[in-house]
Amino acid sequence: MGDIFVIMDKLLIKGGNRLEGEIYASGAKNSALPILAASLLADSPLKVGNLPHLNDVTTMIELLGSMGLDITLSDTGEVEVDASTINNLNARYELVKTMRASILVLGPLLSKFSKAIVALPGGCAIGSRPVNLHVDAMRSMGAEIVLEEGYIKASSEGRLKGAKIVFDPVSVTATENVMMAAVLADGVTTIENAAREPEVVDLANCLRKMGAIISGEGTDIISIEGVKSLSGCEFSVMPDRVEVATYLTAVAMTGGKVKIKSSDARSFSSVIDKLEKTGAVFLTGEDWVSIEMNQDRPLSVSLTTGPYPSFPTDMQAQFVALNSIANGNATVTETIFENRFMHVQEIARMGGQISLKGNTAFIEGADFLVGAPVMATDLRASASLVLAGLVASGETTIDRIYHIDRGYERIEEKLKLLGADIERIS
């Protein structure tokens, strides 16, 4: 066997520039994926706008296409999905393996077509994300499910039945899957300990526009009354709150003044609260947020992650990077995923003084970081390395950036617009 060399893109960053200027937020991946899956429920085409150009979104569109759905891309970046042409209820492993969110087709397929065959998903290696919550919920709504040969094989006699479903632990994708299963079920479904994330609210708004009867989204009890049918509609995906919060954290680290348009500050108030404690000053409007950071180093800030509206696990790595160059000491405790500190040893290679004890990182702010070759291990960890590279002296190269591309649309172009010295190399 000869060696196979795969050419992988890297990011090359020369640190030390302040960030100044304006950028636009992209649409939220974690809202786009369930909304695309919801197209399966409609009797007429669903038009989805503000989709981010990301691998996961492309994968979801390919997955729907592989099931026979008719998909049209417009010049304006809208996608029209017509499920009336569906000819196959099988979500194949080749497409599902790269993305855990593929399981979001399970609820809609069962609800609309009384049958689904969905491969067990893959995705980031940041700890267990059990599918049993999804499977148990569908069973309690009357589905028969077997797990065999790596597939979830599900069917129901006629329509699913409304049920009371209590999640433990709380799960965003399981909440979304049950919402989509329940909209066409017979009777009323209540989800207790439901996820409260803004993306769940976005999905509820889209389903309601399609004709669903839903109440309580944004609280921990969601109620859905099944209807006979849903029609397509036009819907624009909410802005990506994690993307916006990541760029705001970058400014808190580098200094400068940045405005991010088409963003909703209310969806990440827990992050703004922590960034204000580092010394950053915010202004917000209906659809924009601006940050100004004038001091040389941010003040350190401790935090514990939790389900919304607590501090998001998707921002934990970025705050480890911030605290690594902050004035003072901080603790960062992760309560959602057990394997989400893989960025720590990479930031340590750049001079970060971080020790791990259980699910808590103890961080002593260093006066400076030094550029080094580092490797991205998952989506948010890779973002934290970009942030560290922006403040480090010298050059940082980040390998395996396909992780970044799963969740950040053209990250190097947006940062370049703000004055960062960053480029993609292969």
What pLDDT is recorded for position 1?
A: 47
Strand 360-364 and strand 353-357: pairing? Answer: antiparallel
Which is the catalytic residue, given 36, 101, 124, 315? 124
CB atoms within 10 A of CB 225: 15
Tens digits of residue pLDDT in 297-339 = 999 999 999 999 999 999 999 999 999 999 999 999 999 887 8
- HEC string of the chain equals CCCCCCCCCEEEEECCCCEEEEEECCECHHHHHHHHHHHHHECCCEEEECCCCCHHHHHHHHHHHHCCCEEEECCCCCEEEEHHHCCCCEECHHHHCCCHHHHHHHHHHHHHHCEEEEECCCCCCCCCCCCHHHHHHHHHCCCEEEEECCEEEEECCCCCECCEEECCCCCHHHHHHHHHHHCCCECEEEEECCCCCHHHHHHHHHHHHCCCEEECECECEEEEECCCCECCCEEECCECHHHHHHHHHHHHHHCEEEEEECCCHHHHHHHHHHHHHCCCEEEEECCEEEEEECCCCCECCCEEECCCCCECHHHHHHHHHHHHCCECEEEEECCCCCCCCCCHHHHHHCCCEEEEECCEEEEECCCCCECCEEECCCHHHHHHHHHHHHHCECEEEEECCHHHHCCCCCHHHHHHHCCCEEEEEC
- Residue 354 scores a pLDDT above 90: yes
Structure tokens that stand for 1 in this block: 């066997």
Across 99-107, average pLDDT: 91
pLDDT (0 to 100) of residue 78:
94
Contact 190, 141 (CB under 8 A): no
How far, in Å, CA of 275 to CA of 293, rounded? Answer: 10
CA atoms within 13 A on the CB side of 404: 23
- Helices 172-182 and 106-113: crossing angle in degrees, nearest 10, is 10
Mean pLDDT score, 402-419: 94
Return the higher-pLDDT residue of 98 and 424. 424
**Averaged pLDDT for residues 128-151:** 89
Is the confidence at residue 127, as pLDDT, over 90?
no
Whether 124 is a known active-site residue: answer: yes
Q: What backbone torsions phi and psi does residue 94 show, to the nearest 5 degrees? A: -55, -35
Q: Residue 347 pLDDT more than 70?
A: yes
223 contacts 214 by C-beta, under 8 angstroms: yes
Average pLDDT over residues 373-386: 94
C-beta of residue 298 within 8 angstroms of C-beta of residue 253? yes
pLDDT, residue 122, reads 60
- Mean residue pLDDT across the chain: 94
Mean pLDDT calculated for residue range 3-20: 85
Alpha carbon distance 282, 88 (integer Å): 50
pLDDT tens figures, 244-295 = 999 999 999 999 999 999 999 999 999 999 999 999 999 999 999 999 999 9
Between the CA of residue 77 and those of 24, 46, 62, 407, what are the distances in Å? Answer: 15, 14, 16, 17
Buried/exposed code over 349-386 (b: 16+ C-beta within 10 A; e: otherwise): bbbbebeeeebbbebebbeebebbebbbbbbbbbbbbb
- Residues in a beta bridge with 222: 191
Residues with Cβ within 8 Å of 364's Cβ and at least 6 positions away in sequence, in order, are 329, 353, 354
Residue 123 has pLDDT above 70, yes or no: no
Distance CA 397, CA 374 (A): 6
What pTM did the predictor assign? 0.94
